[in-house]
Amino acid sequence: MFNESDYIKLNKSFYSRDTVTVAKELLGKYIFKKSGKGHLVAKIVETEAYLGDEDPACHAFRKITKRNEPMFEDGGITYVYFIYGNYYCFNVVTEKQGIGSAVLIRGVEPVSGIQSMRKNRGVIHKDCDLTNGPSKFCLAFNIDKKDNREYLTKERIFISKPKKKKSIIISVAKRIGIKEGADLPYRYFMKDNPYVTKHKLNKEILTEIKL
């Protein structure tokens, strides 16, 4: 049974660190979204790192614009952007102010409020297709541009860690859906978790890390 008191909210110092470290350590953490209707909770199982001006796939690779501006803020806020005319992607901003970097949440495992997530998603064939993709997660959690530039240290959207620490195995692979920087090993997911994106790149696991 899910109980919020078994979890501790991550603070700003967690996010204001090296992006690759944050991307790995976000796995196994729990993302909360609170609204009048109730709480949505899910375990993060897949992430991607986007590394500022050294990473050609990163929205903040070239320069600061109106869209990517949140990425340049101090870590601990959200960066939500609109993509392919239909969808949103949710990122957690990392590093210190001035470095345009973030972690994309690619896959989560529903924990609480699952009926609301189903309703938000519409037609679903299988349970594990509910949130195994960055825009599927946004649909299930009703995340859109109103959730851009939100403080993860506040009460509306935040991420917590379980009081009981669990050891996990992380698989490292290439990122999905990009052209530039496609060979960089910046995608991380929990080994053998069914809520990770289904993709042929999952067969090309580069390394495994125990965390």
Which listed residue (10, 22, 108, 176) binds DNA by CB under 7 A?
176
Q: Are 89 and 81 in contact (CB under 8 A)?
A: yes
Q: How far is the CB of 48 from DNA (least distance, A)?
A: 6
Residue 123 interacting with DNA (CB under 7 A): yes
Exposure on the CB side of residue 184, measured as CA atoms within 13 A: 16
CB closer to DNA out of 4 and 96: 96
Exposed/middle/buried for residue 204 (C-beta within 10 Å: 0-12, 13-18, 19+): exposed
Q: Are 185 and 206 in contact (CB under 8 A)?
A: yes
Residue 174 interacting with DNA (CB under 7 A): no
Which residues partner with 103 through β-bridges? Answer: 49, 92
Q: How far is the CB of 122 from DNA (least distance, A)?
A: 7
Taking residues 128 to 147 in sequence order and writing x for each that binds DNA by CB under 7 A, - otherwise, the string is -x---xxxxx-x--------
Q: Count how many residues are written for the chain.
A: 211
Which listed residue (17, 121, 149, 191) binds DNA by CB under 7 A?
121
Q: Which of residues 42-101 bind DNA (CB under 7 A)?
A: 48, 50, 57-60, 62, 65-68, 71, 79, 82-87, 89, 91
Residue burial 5-21, b: 16+ Cβ < 10 Å; e: rest: eebebbeeebbbeebbe
**Which residues contribute to the site for DNA (CB under 7 A)?**
48, 50, 57-60, 62, 65-68, 71, 79, 82-87, 89, 91, 102, 104, 121-123, 125, 129, 133-137, 139, 175-180, 197, 200
